[in-house]
Each structure stands twice: as structure tokens, then as C-alpha cells.
Structure 1
């Protein structure tokens, strides 16, 4: 029994010693940034001690710090069960948000607020809650763009950040890796290129970057190439060598003579302990955009802009400000020729982790941030947009579900359906009015079509059937003017609004709709009187009543359509008052009508007012009110046709 007790003690001592060394090993891995190794080590401890707080804490933080916070939720939950804190609840909320569980994330953020009085923490937590609410109303920025995984180009490892230049697609890939990056266990990345024409890539011929040699044992990623092709900038870092730079930095290579120079550290990095990455040139090459965690920003990683100096370097970096940058992370900038600015962010309202956004000016000139929507973004990381044909085609990178490997390259194209074409074929028939007979066909009348901006949209002479055909656009307004020597010219409005079917209901690519209209022209005869119908005046008054104005407007249109004519406008009375009174009344009425027509824009020189009183009765010795009304009339006649 005693010997058994000794063996048991020895085994316990060995177990305690082994556990302690495992924990120390995991702590060393975590503190040195080898997060995947730390996860593996502390997972062995959790297999025996599921409630080990230190193990849960380090695994949760290792996932967060290696950009895999969505996997950290169960470990933060374990910490909360034992000892709830603001930090654990807040990061649990971030993890649930990254898993696209908005309601659970909001609950975690609300709980986090109960464990702090820090106003800055409270404000940031409320911002996360508001961002979740805003993300539920996001619309697609380009609703007809389709995203497709470039399976022939992608591998089981990371492939991302494509950039097209001079017939090649340059990108970052874990293929041909010489080792694993200890922070997340993924292959170290190098720079590659393949021949490409737009989004069509010869993936079978992808090769390591030939301009200069990729280095081993570190990550080389996120390449940028100047518009003239003479400058390459990329991010380099994550080396495990204690002799190398401690942080990721931007390196530059220049084309000199027969080839590119060896890459050198850029002064724009400023401090070797600052993280700098994801470079991009402005469309004209005069500015460099990049991401950095340098002090003085608005969050974890911010976007900056540096200008090209006289010596060719880039300097004087400026933070892009709080409209673009958030307390979260902003990376992979992409300015475009039209002044828009695309980038990725996990701080603006989105669907999960990194989403693609655009900053564009509104009507007031202020920048507005818009999420590109669900056809570009997922609950995982979506980033590194590049346009091969702006804005219709290009590439992005994503580690969304359903991919070939880790980060994958996707291409997108605008698949906006071709609009169904509706042609309105309008037959305009010209006719002439013949007294006492049906309207007759009028050949060789000039018919002209004008659009809503008074721009001529067509014109022709009517054929032997009196027809002219025009092709009109749907849902538009037009004016048609018909004219012929010896006839009053006439204009009529014509609208196709509501006269065509909804294109969405059509099956055929082209649909023709045929419509008809008729214009009847009156003969233009000098000194022939034409009665204006419905011109009435109040008893013993010469004021133009509203109903009379409607009829006079028709004469106004005739004068506008026929600018070469002068007319006499005459007024006639019945014979129920004295001659002098009727003469005076008719003159005042004629002048009142002329004054109204002048007020509508007609030159007074084209009008003569003439009162005839009762001197030209149509019905002598009128007896009935109807007969008196026939005598009380307003007429006009053309007295001159100017050449």
C-alpha cells in the first residue's frame, strides 16, 4: 500500500510539472505572437480542464488577434460564466457580430454596458449596437453585379489582393510556401503574377514575381503598382527572425534601366514598430494610400494618404479622417478616377467582419459612406477591390464559406439585363377641312416632330395617303407641327406616357407599338371671316371672361403657329340697342380681346381690333334669343400674309 502511494505521488508530481511546462510554453507562444501555436497548446490544457480561465482567455485573445474573432465566442462565454467583465462581454459581442448573429451580439453589447462607467467604452459599445441596427437596412450598391469564385486561380491556402497591370494580374498567394505563419497557422505568402486580359486570367501559368525575388520565412503581400508600371510597393513582415524588422512595413522597388531594384524600406513607414500595409496608388500616381496602426488615429488600423515628393519618395502622410476611419479597422484603399474611394472596414455597419464600402460625395459635397451590399459582402472578410473596367468588372478577395481555400480571389461583372426596347411607331395623318364635307386627305404637308426640349426629332412630307411615320420613345412628350402653303399651320401636343406596356412584362427584346393621330388644317384665305366659338361677354361689358380666354388661347396658338399672318379681330352685336351704343360696345370688346392676345406674347402689330356693332347682322330681324346669339359673335380674318 505504501509503495502504491509513492507511485501515485510521483505520477501527480510528473503531471503537475508537465501541465506547468505546457502552460509556460503556451504563454511564451502567445506573448511572441505565435497565436496558432498558443491555441494548440492551451487547447490541450482545456481538454483536461475545460474551465481553466487562463486557457480560455488566451485562446479567445489568440483568435481575436489573428483575425479569427468569430471562433472566439465559446471561450469568451466561458470567461463570462466564471467572472463577467466589460471586456469579455464586449468581445463576445464582436465575435457574435462576426458570426452574423445580430440579436445575440446586441444582447452581449447591452450586457457589456453594465460593467463599465467609462464614457468612451460606453460610446463605442453603443456605436456597435447602432451599427447592427443600420446593417439590417443595407441595399446593394450595384444590384446587378455578380461575384464568382476564380476556382482555377485559387489554392487551398490564401490567395488575395489582385492588382492588374500591363497585361498581368499580380496577387498574393500561399502557394510554394516554405513554412507556416505561426500567428494563424496559414502558409507564408509570396507575390505572384499571371497573364490576364481584364478578368480573364491564364491561371495555369501563374509564376512567382519575376521583377525581384520573394524572400523566405516571412509574408510578402498586398502589392501596388504605379499607373506607369515603374514602381512596385508591397507589404513585408511577420518574420520570426530576431534580426529582422519587428513589424510589417511597406517596401518599394523602382524600374531602373534593365530591371527593378531590390526592394527597400520606405520612409513613409516612419517607425519600424508601426504596422503599415495594403498600399494603393491614386489614379495619376501622385498619391499613395495605405493602412497603418500608427498613433493618433481613430481606431485599430486607419487609412492614410501620402503625397509624392520631389525626390520620388512619398511623405507627409495624412489620416483620412473620421468619416472614413472608425474605432475599428480600415484597410485596402482603392481611389477611382471619378473621385470615389473604395475600402474595407469592420467598423462601419456591415454584415460581419471586413466589408467593402465606398465613400462618395453627396449633393452638398460631403463624403457619405455606403456598404456595397450583400452581392459583394458576407459575414466573413471581404476586401481588396480592384477594377479592371470601372465600375463594371474587377476582382475582390474573400474568405467566405464555399471558397476553394482560405482567402480566395473572386471576379465580378455587371450583369445588368439588357433593357427591353419598346418602339412607338406613330402614324400622323394630315387632312384638310372642307366646308359641309368630311375632312379630306392632304398630301405633301410638312410634318415636323419636336421633343420636350423643343429639339427637332424628325420631319417629313405626308404621302399620297396623307401619312407621315415617326419612331417615338415611350413615356415622353412631343409637339407635332403640320404646315402647307395655303393652309393655317397647326401644332398639337402628343404624349406617349401611359401608352406603352411595362418593359418588365415583355418577353421579346424589341416590341413595336403602332399609334395614330390626325392633324386637320384649315385653308388660309385672305379676308375670309372665321367665327370664334363660345366667346361670350357679360351684359353690357367688354371684360374677357375665363371661358372666353380659353377660346382666345386657341387663336393665340394659331398666331404662334403662323408667324407670317396679320389678322383683324372683329366683334359684332345684336340690334337690341342703339347703333351708337352697339358700335362702342363692339369696339371695346374687340379691343379687349386683342389686348388679351397681346398679353399672351403676340406682337400688337399683328392685330387689328375692329368693332362692327350691328352693321353686319347674320340674321336680319332676329326674333329668338338663339337668333340674337348668332348675331353676337367674335370673328377673325387674315388681312395680310407677310413674306
Structure 2
């Protein structure tokens, strides 16, 4: 009996001990003390605890401290255990962890599952583009700088002929306070001298006024160097401020250089205790501050925003850069160059590793499609906080790649080839369908997917057309007198494959009635037996004794307008008709009014009047002949119409 009691007692003590350990691990996790929570969750899992919550928090703990081997092992167990019910962000982190440890094919498999909403052709295009970037080779020469330590060194910023960067506090003693996330000392700002695009080996604390007991990192300066913006933990009079989960978020602060001392340290008005605002970068004009934040309204976990700064130093409202730049994942570490190139890091755009560095060009408030900077800036690890000097074509960035000295290292780089966006173009020619000869002089028009004409050219003696394009769907239209206009729709994928060829074949207009040929071609027009090319569009009808354009007629006319916009060299004749009732003189007058009314509708919608002739035929060309029988109201209605034809010269 005593033996059973002792066994029960030991089991009870073991349960209580495990529950205590779980509470302790959860407490560390909730306070973002991931180094310690990872250790405790590992002990629990090794002891046989396979609870999904424990596995997930253990995996995330390792992920957040960049221990991707242990993270991937635990994510694999989670996915195997929960299968179809697993949340998407665990699949994403598993794919990223696999990529970080070099298992690229397996990572791509899981990333495809994560990106299930992206069409297969687009997903493949993204992979193809990365391969194209690889084939371009290295665009930079890089160097690991001597200032790096065994800890985390990152966040470089230009300051006069110096570099200001972030690194854990030094020489603070054995019992100095540590940052719980990775169990390292809190970050301070340090400064080193730039010497020929590289750094001297010695560095010093940047400012005793700015460096505090908390984090200071990622700075930017006004052009005159008299104002600084920097990232620091939320605090009030040196005391941390916490959110409802007892976590201290990050905010952007400013300070002024007065008589060689940084003063007036101020939290910016768009900070908040419930979200982070960080990584400031100021443009050359000092009137726009870019930053990253996970504030409400963000598209992903972190987005890039900007605020305008007026001449009095007042800040506007934060503006999200939008879906061209921000994704459902992380966009951080923005840097704006003097020529309005915005560099940033992202794990949401297609990349080689975790955070990759991208560049976008800002033109008239629009952002070009982000360009992955490629090798060797980007690796299968985190590559981030890049800054760039337009004059020297050089700069600095940080990375936690495998060959570094510490957790994060600062690298210098020199650009060796231009940072050009991918250039895509469509080229081809226009051929006679019967002979395959080039139709010299044919006009080629390019339209976007909304039907807007964006370019045009003429086939000359070299026989080809060429348009430079961005990725998207387009339509080509070819026209030449005495030929039936032809169209071709195609799509340019953002896959790094620059060249797309399109051959357009056009048919000569025959002398005789050839509806079968046109139907076989799928062309929206028919040929009449008198050599008239007619749009296959329902005639518009009129009320008895009226010439106004009815609502149902407007629908058909709008379709005609679309065709005329797509064939800008085509002119049309509007032929309007009446039924047989009324005098010949009256019907001639009424049909002309109907033709004019139809033409005015087209002109009001933007069709040039020189392309249109309007002719009334009275009752002379009925569709239903009423001479041998009395027409019904419906038959009279058919005769009250406008038709649209293109008069062409027969072959």
C-alpha cells in the first residue's frame, strides 16, 4: 500500500513540476524572452510533452532567435501532427527555416502551399526570376568589416565621414542588464570612421546623451547633421512603457545638436504603446521620413510608411506605401537615397532567403516593382539595413549569414554593374495570311488590359515592331488598308525572360461574300456581298417618330466605341433608316436626324468627328419588306435602325 502511495506521490509531484515549468516557459515567451523560453520548451518536449501549444511556442522561440535548424525540426512535428488544420504562418515559418538551412527544394514545396492563392504560373514565374537573377552573377563586391563583434552589429547610417551603427553595450560588467529576446546586452549607438568605402577598425560610443539603459538603433540625420531620428524602446523619463501584454514596443525619437550636445530628445507624435514604429530614413529634402511599423492598418506584420514634414517641423499622418511595396509578411529597414531609390528588406517578396534587400524607384509618387538586389547582397539568411551612396556607388548593410563573425555583421559593398530593373519587351511583325510576306506599312497599336492605347508604330523596311513593357496583359491590333484588322492578346510574366515574340497575320478583304472565312477566324466583323465591311453589332433601334438615343441603344453604341478605340485608323459610316410610314420627304429628314443623333453620341464619347459620316436613307432600305404584306409593329421596329459599316475598296 505504501509503495502505491509513493508512486502516486511521485507522479503528482512530477505533474506539478511540469506544470510549473510550462508556466515559467509561457511567462518567458509572453515577455519575448525567447532564448530562455526555447530552452524550457525543449526540456518539456524532450521529456515527452507533445502538446501542440508547447511545440508551436518552442518552434517560434527558436525561429525568433534565428536558430532555424531547431525551429524547422519542431515545425515539421507540428505540421505532421495537425496536417490540414495547421495555420498558414507556421507553414511560412517552416518554409523560411528550411530555406535558411539550405533545403531550398523542400522550402519551395512548402512555400507553394503557403502561397496557395497565387496562380501556378505566377508562382513559377517568381522562381524563374530568381534563377534569372542568379545567372546575372554578382553585382557587388562585399567585405566583412573589422568593427564586427561576436554579438549583433547592424543598422548602419551615414553621418558626415563616419558610420553610426548599433551594437550591444560594451564593458557594462557581468551583471549588466540584458535584452530578454536573445539574452544579449541592450543596443547602443556606436560610430566608426569611413575610409575609402570601408571602416576603420576602431569604434566608439556615438553619444552619451542618446545612449541609455534601453535599445538605441537605426538612425538617420538631416542634411546639415543637426537633427537625428533614431529608434528606442518606448519610455518616459528613462522608464519603459509597456503594452497590455507587458511588452515594450519601439518608437522613433528625435534630438537636436546644440553646441555639440544632443538635446531635446522627443518621442514623435505618431508613435504608440501598442505597436512599434522604427527604422527611420529621411529623404534629401528633409521633408519626408520613411519608417517601418506594425500599426493598425498595416497589410502585413510590418509595413513601410512615410510621414511628410512641413517647414515648421510638423508631421503629417502616416501613409502606407501600398501593395506594390508591402506584403502580408515583413517589410522593414527602409533607406531612401538622394536619387529617390528606396531600399528595404522583405520576406514577403520572392527572395533567396529570409529577409532579402530590394530596391524600388520613386517617380511622381509611384513605386516601381521591387527589384531583388541579387547576389552576394542576398543569401539564404537575413540581409537587411542597407544604405547606399549614389556618388561612390557603395554602401553598407547587415547580414547574419553563416560566414560572419557574430549574430549580425556589418558588410561594406561596392557596386560593380548597374542596378537596372528587368526590361521586358514584345517584338514581332505583321504578315499577309496567305503569303507570309511582311506587310510593310502596317500600323500596330498596343493596348493595356483595360483597352487604353499606350503605344503605336508602323512596320518599316526592317519588318519588325518592338514595345518595351512592364509585366501584365496586353493586346496588339494590326491594320493596313484593304486588310481585315487583326488582334492578339498576350501576357508578360515577371520571370526575368525579357523577350516575347508575337506574329500577327492579317487577311485581305475579298471581293465576294465570305462570312464563313470570317467566322472561322473568329473576327467580330462580316463582309457584305457589295464589298462593305460591317461591324457585327446589333443595329440600334428607335421609337416611332423619334430620333433620340434610347437606353438600350447606348449599350450597343458603347460597344462600338470600344471597337473604334481599338482600331484608330478605321472610319465608319452610320446608315440610319425609317419604317415605311410617313411621306418620303419626312422619312428622309427623320432618318438623317437619327444618323446625326447617333454620330453626336459617339463624338460626345471621344470619337473624332472626322472618322464618322452620318447618312439617312429614309425608307429606301428596309430589312423587312412591307410591299407585299402589312408589317407588324415588331417588323416596323426592325426597320427603324442605325447600322455601322466600313466602306472598303475591294481587292
TM-score, structure 1 as length reference: 0.58
Of 198, 204, 207, the residue aligned with 1:207 is 204
Structure 2 match to 1:252 = 254
Superposed, which structure 2 residues align to 1:342-491 within 5 Å?
342-360=343-361, 367-388=368-389, 390=391, 392-414=393-415
Instruction: Please state if 1:42 is matched with 2:41.
Output: yes
Structure 1 match to 2:154 = 160
| Distance of 1:125 and 1:183 partners within structure 2 | 38
Q: Displacement, 1:148?
A: 0.8
Superposed, which structure 2 residues align to 1:156-305 within 5 Å?
156-176=150-170, 178-204=176-202, 206-210=203-207, 212-216=209-213, 218-237=214-233, 243=241, 246-269=248-271, 271-305=272-306
> What secondary structure sits across from 1:298 in the alignment?
coil
| Distance of 1:139 and 1:339 partners within structure 2 | 26
Q: Displacement, 1:231?
A: 0.9
| Distance of 1:242 and 1:339 partners within structure 2 | 36
Shift of the 224–361 alpha-carbon distance from structure 1 to 2, 3 Å rule, reads: closer
Q: CA RMSD in A?
A: 3.1
Answer whether contact 2:281 2:291 (CA < 8 A) is retained.
yes
Structure 2 match to 1:464 = none
Answer whether contact 2:112 2:123 (CA < 8 A) is retained.
no
Of 134, 137, 153, the residue aligned with 2:132 is 137
Q: Deviations over 1:460-508 (max 9, x none)?
A: xxxxxxxxxxxxxxxxxxxxxxxxxxxxxxxxxxxxxxxxxxxxxxxxx
Q: Deviations over 1:528-587 (max 9, x none)?
A: xxxxxxxxxxxxxxxxxxxxxxxxxxxxxxxxxxxxxxxxxxxxxxxxxxxxxxxxxxxx
Structure 2 match to 1:108 = 110
Shift of the 161–18 alpha-carbon distance from structure 1 to 2, 3 Å rule, reads: same
Structure 1 match to 2:96 = 94
Q: Deviations over 1:151-184 (max 9, x none)?
A: x200010001111212321110014163332123
Q: Displacement, 1:415?
A: 5.3
Shift of the 317–111 alpha-carbon distance from structure 1 to 2, 3 Å rule, reads: closer
Q: Displacement, 1:130?
A: 5.9
Q: Displacement, 1:313?
A: 3.7
Q: Displacement, 1:133?
A: 4.8
Q: Displacement, 1:257?
A: 4.1
Unaligned 5+ segments in structure 1 are: 114-120, 418-643
Q: Displacement, 1:208?
A: 1.3
Q: Deviations over 1:18-51 (max 9, x none)?
A: 1110011111222222222211111111121163
Shift of the 267–163 alpha-carbon distance from structure 1 to 2, 3 Å rule, reads: same
Shift of the 316–112 alpha-carbon distance from structure 1 to 2, 3 Å rule, reads: closer
Q: Deviations over 1:44-64 (max 9, x none)?
A: 111211634332111112234
Structure 2 match to 1:122 = 117
Structure 2 match to 1:148 = 143
Answer whether contact 2:325 2:367 (CA < 8 A) is retained.
no
| Distance of 2:63 and 2:382 partners within structure 1 | 14
Shift of the 125–315 alpha-carbon distance from structure 1 to 2, 3 Å rule, reads: farther
Instruction: Please state if 1:332 is matched with 2:333.
Output: yes
Shift of the 93–145 alpha-carbon distance from structure 1 to 2, 3 Å rule, reads: closer
Answer whether contact 1:157 1:175 (CA < 8 A) is retained.
no
Superposed, which structure 2 residues align to 1:588-607 within 5 Å?
none
Answer whether contact 2:387 2:396 (CA < 8 A) is retained.
yes
| Distance of 1:291 and 1:145 partners within structure 2 | 26
Q: Displacement, 1:410?
A: 0.4
Q: Displacement, 1:380?
A: 0.7
Q: Displacement, 1:284?
A: 2.3
> What secondary structure sits across from 1:267 in the alignment?
coil
TM-score, structure 2 as length reference: 0.57
Structure 2 match to 1:57 = 56
- Between the two proteins, the alignment pairs up a number of residues equal to 405
Answer whether contact 1:173 1:189 (CA < 8 A) is retained.
yes
Answer whether contact 1:59 1:75 (CA < 8 A) is retained.
yes
| Distance of 1:381 and 1:58 partners within structure 2 | 21
